[in-house]
Structure 1
């Protein structure tokens, strides 16, 4: 099982980009396998849907300041040589696919082919309203974005005629040396079916305390594997990457025990820990990362 961590991107570290490079370099030196970023635009003060999609409740205060995910990965790429650099998740419908392909290709090239492109459809109606994208269309947009990305990353001549975007036959020579892994998040039936049809991995998630359990992940994983089989794919080729979201005050020992218990039952390819709630300052985050690496190896 690979072990990863989130880069310092949320909250008090947002306006200190040097913390990103420092954390990235030291985390790699400590033995981390991957570094990840998320994608939030704002913290609505009266959200239509609250964090965790549980109703009109508040977003975490950490979301009041967020460093750009693309820039964070670029900074991390500049000071590391080995770790995978992933997005969990980019809210893909926020973006137009060709500029997105160019940006992600540049990060992949800058890192020597270490990009993991993780996408989701988002869940905040307020964010979609702010970017001018219809909330109800986000699933269809993700499907079309994935179509365009696949063409832009694997074809010398790119052509696309879809409901949202049209690309005349065009040369796009800025491509990854190899197509980056595409991983998708989600728990809804449509998301699970999409993962089974076309993703290289499932970006699963669990919260601590209480919600990081294999019993909650087994049914969606079974649905993904069935969808893969129905599509003529090898279900075992879809790796599971688990995002561990510990609440403030959760200790490293509890994180490690819960993660290893899930790994024992499911067989994770990777688990990575969101550090912004339990270690909002970079020095503390590095201490927690080192402790977790010792407990999870």
Structure 2
């Protein structure tokens, strides 16, 4: 969810908890509230949900200072933090911050150094502040071979991007087909080897719509996404139909891809809450 003014943000978090969500996540973009203070306030407003970043742009951070923020936030949220990290992809934000927008390889290099240093510092019993959890769960998001290799080595949660590549010039990012998503999941599972049973698979939901007319609901996406209605309806992140139909779709996704963790966008909260109720 997008953090807002204090009262509005508290109301959003309490609603998410009340209607059944297990995790509340915030993004990390310039022009939006800072993620860690937002999560500390979310912890004060709620009791049950875990609280995560989806995802921290590590290119904005010195690893040592990020370790301090992570440990302090986990401490102040009572051990409810999930740390999602990414390499950053919005060039305009780097320009605004006066930071070099390196190649994808250089940004992933920095992400890898950050992951390594965070693990070293947060696992050091002498490091202060100490996180509340013995190990803060690490989420890594991506779809390319190198990102998935990094995630297979280090992540507790892998988020599979539902797009083929980042959006450009304000255009909609091209969505990955169901076949491409399945191929990426299979690639990661093979890399995980014996760790496959320990790592949770997460998928972002592009759309959740309760409707009796599935085809009409996704037709508006056809031209923008460059995919047919039939292809759109097969994408794991496009949840369209009655709550029963969507629940069955999610059961199928779990059985075939092993995806057990789904992230809905804020505008879809109410519709997805109906699906949660159906699943439970």
TM-score (norm 2): 0.74
Instruction: Indicate how the Cα distance of structure 1 residues 93 and 296 shifts in structure 2: closer, same or farther if over 3 A, else same.
Output: farther
Could you tell me how far 1:202 is from its partner in structure 2?
Answer: 0.6
CA contact 1:183–1:200 (8 Å) conserved in 2: yes
Which runs of no fewer than 5 residues in structure 2 stay unpaired?
A: 164-171, 212-238
**Distance in 1 of aligned mates of 2:12 and 2:275:** 15
Matching residue within 13, 17, 32 for 1:28: 17
Change (3 A) 1:72 1:23: same
| 1:86-112 CA distance string (max 9 Å, x none) | 111111121111221121222211222
CA RMSD of aligned residues (A): 2.6
Distance 2:177 2:253 in 1: 6
SS in 1 for 2:51: strand
> Displacement of 1:206 after TM fit?
3.1
Instruction: Give the total of aligned pairs.
Output: 235
State the alpha-carbon separation in 2 of the partners of residues 129 and 189 from structure 1: 27
Q: Would you say 1:115 and 2:81 are equivalent positions?
A: yes
1:198 is displaced (CA, Å) by: 1.4
| 2:59 match: secondary structure | helix
2:118 is equivalent to residue 152 of structure 1 = no
SS at match of 1:202: strand
Extract unaligned runs of 5+ from structure 1.
1-6, 43-65, 158-170, 280-284
| TM-score of the two chains, using structure 1 as the length reference | 0.71
- CA apart distance, 1:76: 0.7
Question: 1:185 deviation in Å?
Answer: 0.4
Could you tell me how far 1:174 is from its partner in structure 2? 2.8
Does residue 79 of structure 2 align to residue 88 of structure 1? Answer: no
Aligned to 2:231: none
1:240 aligns with 2:201: yes
Give the direction of change, closer, same or farther, for the CA distance of 1:19–1:260 in structure 2 (3 Å limit). Answer: farther
